[in-house]
Structure 1
């Protein structure tokens, strides 16, 4: 049984894993870079070890250094979190070779999931619908152009080694294709040192809907409902919610069976996510399998009542999933906003620096997973995600209003954040009515509406400041004193 877990990550996800391990009496080992010496995950773990310089390649991506800490600390398991080495099959294999439990899928399964071309072939064999496109890798831009003309523009050029919105380009004409092909190839080589390109039909105005899956080492597989992740910027998620406004129980069960087939097709174990694009005609197309815990897992925890990190640990321990599909019931509605340190008006450019002060929201149905504290720093070396703000309600509207109140209560001094953007989105009629799509921001001119909201807020604050100044002016106070002396009844009204 797992007794000590090394968390090969940082920030809020490291803290999240530590909380569950503490509740289970499992010791934890934190690793940290020069930049993270004073981070909360370092202070909250049972043990902490320095692993290198701030740059990820010299610390959180340094497999050999992390393995040294695993062996010297006596950790018998590794939780990779998300990002960094979480979907690195080489690292998972290194753990297996050294008889250290990797809390996730096997290296072989992860390798298959990470290769979009092989994974797509496995899905086709399992009768999981995939987006129309090239049956195999394309060897050059000319072949990509031929396939694009066969399936019709617009198309998407996609590196099989891409992810997080990288290594993907949408192409509308033959003239655009050559340059886009070179760009995708370059991004893939820069990220992983190699390139392999697929061509797929680009589906306009889609929804991004994913399913949480769990599969144990005994072959038991379940899905733990869907998450709607359609509100994005640059193919990266901003707001997630569950249940999806357009998934009824019949659809949930039907797509859920495809999720089980997908997991079995790649012999997946532990927790993962099967992602789909949902076209306007209602068809679901397989997108990819994320072979790790997702950033948005807390909304699934809210509606299912499960601790997904505990479930990961149980499965890693060889225990069977303690429930059947029929035992799972959705309860209420949950929303997550990713609180990013970025400037919405500068194309979501990262915003970094010290955080002199911060106020974390709380209250019924409110959860905030974060590494922030007064005096901490948002580093330029790592992802812009500072916190995951999550709310739950018995109804969608209750969850939405709780989120708005929590966003209003969230104060972060020192950097630009995505909080104002989320306030604007949650107040739109389109969001309230569930008119979601991956092009939501552009489709509904959200950035322009945000600008108008900010102008209105500044105007209201300006008028309020003028009113306050007038109320406290010497002239106004003298007029009040004069009037109340002559008219006691008016004084009574002023007192009230």
Structure 2
């Protein structure tokens, strides 16, 4: 049985894993870089070990250093969180060789899931529908161009080793394809040191819908319902919700059966996610498996009543799933907003630096997974995600309104955040009506709407200030006396003239 877990990660996901471990009486080990000496996950763990410089390659991606800590600390299991080494099959295999329980799929299964072409072939063999495209890896831009002309533009160029929205380019003609092929190749090599590219048909007005899947080491598999992840920027998710507004119970069961087939096709164990594109005609197409715990897992926990990290630990311990598919029910509606340190008006550029003050929202059915505290720092070395704000309600609108209230309560000083954009989105008629798509921001001019909202908000906040200034001015007092003498020039006229 697992007694001591090293969390090979940082920030809110490290804290999230520690919470469940502490509840179960499992000791926790943290690792940290120069940048994270004062981070909460370091202070929360039972033991903490320094692993290197701030740059991920010299700390959180340093497999040998992390292995050294695992062995010296007496760790018997490792939780990779998400990002960093979470989907690195070489690292999973390193753990296996050293008899350390990797809390996730086997190295072989992870390798298969990470190879988009081999994974796609496995899905086709299992009768799981996939997006039309190249039958295998394309050798060069000329071959990619030929396939693109066969299936028709627009198409996506995708690195087999990509993930998290990286290593993907949308191209609409031969010239864009030539340029895009070089870009995707470079991005893939920069990220993982190698490149292999496939071509897929770009489906317009799609929705991104993923299914949480779960399979134990005895072959028992279930799905833990869907999440709608269509609101994105640059192929990276911003807002997720469950259930999806366009998935009824019949469709949920139909796609759920495909998800179980997908898990079996790659011999997947532990928790993972099968991701689909839902075309405008209602067809679902499998795109990939995320072989790890998802960023957005909290909202699935809220509607299912399950602790996903506990499930991961139980499966890693060799336990049988304690339920069947028929035992699982969805309860209510949950929404997650990824609170990013980004400047929306600078193309979502990262915003970093000290956070002198922060107020974390709380209350019934409000959950905030975060590493923030007054005086902390948002680092330029790591992902811009600062917090995951989640709300639950018995109806979608109650969950939505609760989220708006929570966003209003979330005060983060020192860095720009995505909070204003989320308020605009959640207040939009398109979001309220479930008119979601992966191009939601562009399709409905959300950035322009945000600008208008901010201008209106600024005006509303300025009115009391202007009124106060007028009331206390000597000019106002003199004008009141003048009006008593028959001068009817109004205060609004003074403001328009620039007198006030």
**TM-score > 0.5 by shorter chain:** yes
Distance 1:55 1:45 in 2: 22
- Spell out, residue by residue over 1:303-345, the C-alpha distance to the aligned partner (whole angstroms, 9 max, x if none): 0000000000000000011011000000000000000000000
Distance 1:450 1:466 in 2: 24
SS at match of 1:200: strand
Distance 1:74 1:290 in 2: 29
- Give 1:175 shift: 2.0
Aligned to 2:493: none
Output aligned runs, 1:23-102, within 5 Å: 23-102=23-102
Aligned to 2:218: 218
Aligned to 2:294: 294
SS at match of 1:175: helix
Distance 2:440 2:101 in 1: 41
Output aligned runs, 1:118-137, within 5 Å: 118-137=118-137
- Spell out, residue by residue over 1:127-150, the C-alpha distance to the aligned partner (whole angstroms, 9 max, x if none): 000000011111111111111111
Aligned-residue RMSD, C-alpha:
1.3
Distance 1:479 1:144 in 2: 76
SS at match of 1:83: coil
Matched, 1:257 2:257: yes
Distance 2:423 2:98 in 1: 48
Distance 1:259 1:471 in 2: 66
Distance 2:479 2:334 in 1: 53
Aligned to 1:428: 428
Aligned to 2:176: 176
Distance 1:185 1:72 in 2: 39
Distance 1:270 1:290 in 2: 12
- Give 1:164 shift: 1.1
Aligned to 2:191: 191
Distance 1:233 1:421 in 2: 12
Q: TM-score, normalised by structure 1?
A: 0.95
SS at match of 2:462: helix
Distance 2:478 2:144 in 1: 81
Aligned to 2:12: 12
Distance 1:474 1:45 in 2: 61
SS at match of 1:282: coil
- Spell out, residue by residue over 1:200-238, the C-alpha distance to the aligned partner (whole angstroms, 9 max, x if none): 100011000000000000000000000000000000000
- Give 1:476 shift: 7.8
Distance 1:238 1:122 in 2: 30
- Give 1:461 shift: 1.1
Aligned to 2:340: 340
Distance 1:364 1:141 in 2: 54
Aligned to 1:104: 104
- Taking a change above 3 Å as real, the CA distance of residues 219 and 468 of structure 1, as seen in their structure-2 partners, is same
In structure 1, list runs of 5 or more residues that go unmatched.
Answer: 481-496
Distance 1:479 1:394 in 2: 56
- Spell out, residue by residue over 1:72-92, the C-alpha distance to the aligned partner (whole angstroms, 9 max, x if none): 000100000000000000000
- Give 1:471 shift: 4.8
- Give 1:186 shift: 1.1
SS at match of 1:129: coil
SS at match of 2:438: coil
SS at match of 2:149: helix
